[in-house]
Structure 1
């Protein structure tokens, strides 16, 4: 549709006509013109039209277009395909009814089909096997995608049970349309016993004890009894670790039991928490749960090697032993007969000396790359100390019994490991350490942790340095008297937490081993859910430790009962990637191999896949939640068998109808090519008639 508008009053067109008439009369009235009289009047009329039209164009007329667009209503159908629906619904008959409803609505409306469970999928199959349900996610997506469109209605079919995401009852979704819910499942409270929740640590340390907290629930099972059992599930069978009797004393029973287990085996351990059946239960699948605990063999053997008994040794031993995974051994001088390779850290106190040089032991720490911490004192000969390490050069010192008293000042530029702000502020208050006389020059490879304050003067002399020395991590503490720090910490604060933090952070830095492997395969997690894919990543380094991915890399995953899965990695920009898909529940080992042209490189590891039984723990449908959603958005709660009524409800409601949008566009008449050609035709016709009559 279109019409013509002007920016000036419409009566201005009369002035335009008068101006055209005036020009015509001026040119043709009483003017000598050739030709017969009708021809003259024809030429005058053409001149009148042409000049009137030109004058009208000066009024800037606009051509107004109105375009009408039609937006059809959208019906969004959302189906819950979680496992709990499949367990309590005749899915075959219901799927046929749902499909018939969709086909019937599609005859009149635009229908968009969604399925949801653990994730939201468009037009997904009705398989009813998802291990989780997230009602909030699907309602949020529908609101985000269709909240601003012509949404006619939302049809949500579910049992109202959700185990992920927020409670939809407390969320405000941008849905400007009625929500019709379809109540699936069974709301009957039936006899059932279940392991409702299990709380545990995902990681434990070898030879430690860890706790498992088990929540048990029972409904309509008063006066019954059950046996709670905790077992370790292994390839060779199940080993019972704990058993206790539980008496159910009411119709709505709940109890929490705490079980302490010993982490006596390293690696990924699978434990099964189970209760014996009480008979006539609605489901026996929720009578047990499997959990996985990664037992780490993180014990560290630490050797304290000293020239003679000293209070520092007791302070260090007590601090290191506070970490349950530290095993501390004290030895003296050349009487140590063990192998340094058996230790993760060697602390050398007041050694080596002119008498006890420890040449073979120091050579062993360098050869075996064993981290070493040197703790010196005023009497330690500087040439021997300089020969034992190359992080700091001591110039002077020697056989003094008394040295300088140096207070520790934290170096603010140090960042290899972190000390708490409380410890940094407290270090200058700790008693001073006895350091040798002389000058101390750190090497470029050394990082200065603490500096010396002698008296009231802050010096640049280091007190503690760390870094790489001769292929191993090394630390040098240029003073003795740490035992005073531990006593002072307790005197001031009532505990040894600051001293233990200092020793713990220092030893942790020294014992961390850098990964030098040229081929590394890593798994995204140690424990996967059975409904999520297992993702691997791999890196290959050449002899210059540059990332490459030219050779083909393969992976073999060995699962329960020795079953093997063979894969080939996919190359990314500079590395490798592999999506192994979903794997059955159990413990797995993987072995990645690649040949870089010179040798076969291997990387191995372990992971586990745990079952997801959330959908089996709550089978009572929550139709109250569905009714609440329908009431809030102006819909209704329906049940299977009533779906055929929904099209009539939508028709009677009258809210599901198309929306018409009008778009108005304007265009100046001056820009129309037809106007130009019209003016050209008028003036050309007049000129031709005058020419024919001999007027030119």
Structure 2
């Protein structure tokens, strides 16, 4: 208590005495009052207690408490523990640990489990579809940053996600005691470690499959890698392994003969006494598509631009360009093509424009010095070009920085040779954007060189200028390849070939998932004006083809996308239908869940990996050794701490109650004795 508080308390005693004597002793008429001495004492304490509460002095109060260190216990909840027969070992060890009285008295025991996430749970269920001990250790390092919170990690050491646990363990401030569970015997095993394949292939082409096969063992063995389509073997490779050769990379080319989704099975023939054959087989799916679109380059005369365009378009293996002269083309041939390049059209192109307008096909028109612009002004409405004088002009191109229809190639077009076209003014352009604009003698103009008309249902590309072949030559001169120019041309073809503009609901998801893998779907939805709509209700219906079972989901709007998690579905083939509530449009698709379970690919606990985490590796039967280590380590002893706390007198509620009681008692006695 401070000196000022003591001084104030002394003054309070004097004031209380003055108040009591002044009321009951000095006035003579009060002397005759019976029991005036008792009234004086009562008034003294009433005033004193009130003044003390008003002064509110502070006192120092010492609190002694025992602080026990935390003992963090985290158990592996993944299915691999059960697969390796470590379920009973884990439960027995946990029961001994959590029920031990000495451990309870020495530590605050905190229990967790982990699979792909960390969970606040005391009892593992061994149902996790993946294991990420590194992530769990990082989270626990943030929860318990102090250096006296030892951690017991009960696991088989098999991580199927995230970083290696040994790196995350180094971030934990206290000691980690790894406890290994499951079968630790290293059995001879041959298995498929990794399979790489592109999920799409083009019809009548060959697609690559890359398979990494590993071997654990010391003996020399022989095996076979088989690729099956149904029951038919489509490929076979002989394999040999030994103590010196523990792996082999196999690259295979398979033919894509039929359109559609096809299931293949890669398998390794088991070796003698192989315990785990679950990891000898893996399914993969290939969707064969006939998307090598045919592009028609149509002209009425030959020009170097035609060859340059064909080579650029053919550089994309998904496209095949054909050059045709208008006089040799038949109308029935147009149905073979998905993309159209009309090079310097004239009146002979009338029936082609009629066909494209009738079918609402997209196309790109390239104008130049031989283009009949008067004909084009009358046959189409995407632009007008009025020829003021019979003269040609040259100009360079520069990128329109405000172009936003797609990400254009990063080319400095001002360094490229000039293009040629007839002199005139371009006007009445349809709704769209310019990709390139004219630059004449270093002065930028608003006249377009490349322009896209986008009505929402149809796209038309307009290129004003010939001698594009010189741009391709310039690209090679600068970079020793044609890639920059070829990408520029193929971006135009790609943009004009996208006929999904009218689809307001678009669904994005993988087509193949492994068993136990979370299945996530993402969708985008725009309103009738093609603006993002965050208020829609999108429902999803998923049907398993094998048994026609149905599951329904709702998609939630998150950061510009509608998303949902279908959870872990059982292996099989599924179809889905996504529909916006109150709208007619819908999206359908399919996907496959394979029987591959990553948690069943191990044949023993990873003792060597767990040895790197702690100084000593413990087994499930070593509870007493671990207990002794924990109880005898001085760092983990309970600590007695004294906490000095300043307490205000007003916090003592009984003192306030005493003051009220004194006031009430005085008032009652005065009334009882007839005093006012």
In structure 2, do the counterparts of structure 1 residues 252 and 686 end up closer, same or farther at CA, with 3 Å as the change threshold?
A: same
Aligned position for 2:185: 188
1:8–1:59 Cα contact (<8 Å) kept: no
2:137 aligned counterpart, secondary structure: helix
Greater shift after overlay, 484-493 or 12-21?
12-21
How far is 1:330 from its partner?
Answer: 1.8
Question: Are residues 1:638 and 2:618 paired?
Answer: yes
The one of 335, 343, 346 equivalent to 2:337 is 343
CA distance in structure 1 between the partners assigned to 2:127 and 2:669 by the alignment: 85
Q: Output aligned runs, 1:608-647, within 5 Å.
A: 608-631=592-615, 637-643=617-623
Given candidates 143, 148, 164, the residue that maps to 1:167 is: 164
Cα 1:134–1:46 change in 2 (3 A) is: closer
Distance 1:87 1:542, change over 3 A: closer
8 Å contact 1:534–1:579 — kept in the other structure?
Answer: yes
User: Is 2:647 aligned against 1:666?
Assistant: yes
Question: Within 5 Å, which residues of 2 pair with 1:368-387?
Answer: 368-387=359-378
Which stretch shows the higher mean deviation, 360-369 or 39-48? Answer: 39-48
The 1-side partners of 2:219 and 2:159 are apart by 27
How far off its partner does 1:139 sit? 2.4
Provide the rounded CA distance (Å) in 2 between the counterparts of 1:543 and 1:470: 10
Counting only pairs closer than 5 Å after superposition, residues 551-590 of structure 1 correspond to structure 2 as 555=541, 557-559=543-545, 562-570=546-554, 580-590=566-576
Instruction: Give 2:417's aligned residue.
Output: 431
TM-score of the pair, normalised by structure 1: 0.80
Partner Cα separation in structure 1 for residue 40 and residue 87 of structure 2: 88
Q: Who is 1:362 aligned against?
A: 353
Could you give the per-residue CA deviations for residues 39-62 of structure 1, whole angstroms, max 9, x where no partner exists? Answer: 666666667666766776775534
1:624 Cα deviation from its structure 2 partner: 4.2
Displacement of 1:111 in angstroms is 5.3
Which residue is 1:502 aligned to? Answer: 488
Matches of 1:689 and 1:565, distance apart in 2: 88
Q: Which residue of 2 aligns with 1:114?
A: 112
Q: What does residue 477 of structure 1 align with? A: 463
Residue 74 of structure 2 contacts residue 114 of structure 2 at CA under 8 Å; is this kept in 1?
yes
Question: Can you list the C-alpha shifts for 1:542-565, whole angstroms capped at 9, x where unaligned?
Answer: 999998999997746354xx4423
SS in 2 for 1:171: helix
In the superposition, relative to structure 1, how do residues 589 and 238 fare at CA in structure 2: closer, same or farther (>3 Å)? Answer: farther
Q: What are the Cα deviations for residues 432-486 of structure 1, in whole angstroms up to 9, with x where unaligned?
A: 2221122211425142222223455543322222113695311122222222222
1:259 aligned to 220, 227, 252, which one? 252
Q: Structure 1 residues 380-389 or 208-217, which shifts more?
A: 208-217
Q: Does 1:81 align with 2:66?
A: no
**Ranges in structure 2 where 5+ consecutive residues have no aligned partner:** none
Distance (Å, rounded) in 2 between the aligned partners of 1:34 and 1:361 = 126
SS, match of residue 272 in structure 1: strand
2:401 corresponds to: 412
Residue 430 of structure 2 corresponds to residue 441 of structure 1: no
1:385 CA drift (Å):
0.8
Q: TM-score, with normalisation over the residues of structure 2?
A: 0.82
- Please report how far the alpha carbon of residue 627 of structure 1 lies from its aligned counterpart in structure 2 after TM superposition: 4.3
1:459 to 442, 445, 455: 445
Contact 1:378 1:403 (8 Å CA) reproduced: yes
**In the alignment, structure 1 residue 8 sits paired with structure 2 residue 4:** yes
Match of 2:514 among 529, 541, 547: 529
Q: Distance in 2 between matches of 1:470 and 1:64?
A: 78
Contact 1:366 1:471 in 2 (8 A): no
Task: State how far apart, in whole Å, the 1-side matches of 2:33 and 2:456 are.
Answer: 122
| 1:311 and 2:309 aligned | no
> Aligned residue for 1:604?
588
User: May I ask how many residue pairs the two structures share in their alignment?
Assistant: 667
The answer (yes or no) to whether the contact 2:534–2:557 under 8 Å persists in 1 is no
Q: Distance in 2 between matches of 1:223 and 1:604?
A: 51
Secondary structure at the residue paired with 2:4? coil
> Is the CA contact 1:43–1:689 (under 8 Å) kept in the aligned structure 2?
no
- Kindly state the Cα deviation for residue 523 of structure 1 after the two structures are TM-superposed: 5.7
Give 1:303 shift.
0.6
Alignment of 1:298 with 2:298, yes or no, is no
CA–CA distance in structure 2, aligned partners of residues 117 and 158 of structure 1: 10
Q: Deviations over 1:115-142 (max 9, x none)?
A: 3333434448655454432111232344
- Find the counterpart in structure 2 of residue 490 from structure 1: 476
CA contact (8 A) 2:87 2:182 kept: no
Distance 1:83 1:34 in 2: 92
Please tell me the root mean square deviation across aligned C-alpha atoms, in Å.
4.5
Per-residue displacement from partner, 1:349-373 (whole Å, max 9, x unpaired)?
A: 12122xx1x3332121112221111
CA change 1:333–1:616 in 2 (3 A) is same
Gaps of 5+ in 1: none
Report the CA distance between 1:506 and its aligned residue.
1.3
* Distance 1:612-1:44 versus aligned 2 partners, 3 A rule: same
Query: Secondary structure in 2 aligned to 1:261?
Result: strand
Rounded Cα–Cα distance in structure 2 between residues aligned with 1:82 and 1:480: 65
Contact 1:215 1:254 in 2 (8 A): yes
Shift of 1:623: 2.8
Matched, 1:395 2:386: yes
Per-residue deviation, 1:248:
2.3
Q: Tell me: CA distance 1:469–1:662, structure 2 relative to 1, closer, same or farther (3 Å).
A: closer
Change (3 A) 1:313 1:123: same
What is the Cα deviation at residue 511 of structure 1? 0.9
